[in-house]
Amino acid sequence: MKNFLLAAGVLLFSGALLAAFNIRGTHATQPTADTLKWYTWEEAVELNKTAPKKIFVDVYTDWCGWCKRMDKSTFADSTISAYMAANFYPVKLNAEQKGDIEFNGQTFKFMETGNGRGVHTLAYSLLEGDMRYPNFVYLNEKFERIMISPGYKEPNDIIKELKFAAEEQYAKTTWEKYRDEN
């Protein structure tokens, strides 16, 4: 069994490595939906220490149909995935995950809310208690909140938000004014 797992791991790694290169052996220059790397919270925190970027947090649940649709349509759009990869550490955060997350000297945990349901306190904190899904949080390099954006987004809508955060338009104008003028 151990040899089987080792062989499967080698095959998966080899396939991923080959997929990252085109037929001529040069590295693909534009990420696609299949290559957009989603990070855990912990991975983004570590990466941000040496190469700061803004953080895009997709707060989702396993049962959320609109979240799944975003993955298959909006986040699968090559323009969106390329822009996100270049300007953000995209993070997937399951709002109902059970595992603890250590951040900034605090331990965030799963908290039961009754009827077998619950919420992760990091998701609750990031969303200021607005537990609708999907819900997106934009953070700067210091993990300060730029904005919260609830609801399903088409590519042409989310690209405006991504640019608003990445290009630091929030320092010059409100989201509503930027959205209406762009």
pLDDT at 115: 78
Is residue 91, in this structure, part of any structural domain at all? Answer: yes
pLDDT at 76: 94
Is residue 73, in this structure, part of any structural domain at all? Answer: yes
Is residue 100, in this structure, part of any structural domain at all? Answer: yes
Pairing of strands 135-139, 106-108: unpaired
Q: How far apart are CA 151 and CA 169, in angstroms?
A: 21
Residue 91 contacts residue 39 (beta carbons within 8 Å): yes
- Residue 72: phi and psi, rounded to 5, are -80, -25
Residues of the chain with pLDDT below 50 are 1-33
Residue 65 contacts residue 54 (beta carbons within 8 Å): no
User: Shortest CA distance to 28 belongs to which of 40, 166, 37?
Assistant: 37
User: Shortest CA distance to 30 belongs to which of 68, 90, 80?
Assistant: 80
CATH number for the domain spanning 136: value is 3.40.30.10
pLDDT at 29: 37
User: Shortest CA distance to 80 belongs to which of 141, 20, 166, 169?
Assistant: 166
Give the structural domain span for 68: 31-181
Is residue 7, in this structure, part of any structural domain at all? Answer: no
Residues forming a β-bridge with 108:
101
pLDDT at 35: 64
Is residue 97, in this structure, part of any structural domain at all? Answer: yes
- Residue 112: phi and psi, rounded to 5, are -70, 140
Return the number of other C-beta atoms located less than 10 Å from residue 101's C-beta: 19
Q: How far apart are CA 147 and CA 161, in angstroms?
A: 9
Is residue 118, in this structure, part of any structural domain at all? Answer: yes
Beta strands in the chain (DSSP E): 54-60, 88-94, 101-103, 106-108, 110-114, 117-120, 135-139, 145-150
Is residue 10, in this structure, part of any structural domain at all? Answer: no
Is residue 38, in this structure, part of any structural domain at all? Answer: yes
Indicate the pTM of the whole model.
0.80
Q: How many domains does the chain have?
A: 1
pLDDT at 36: 84
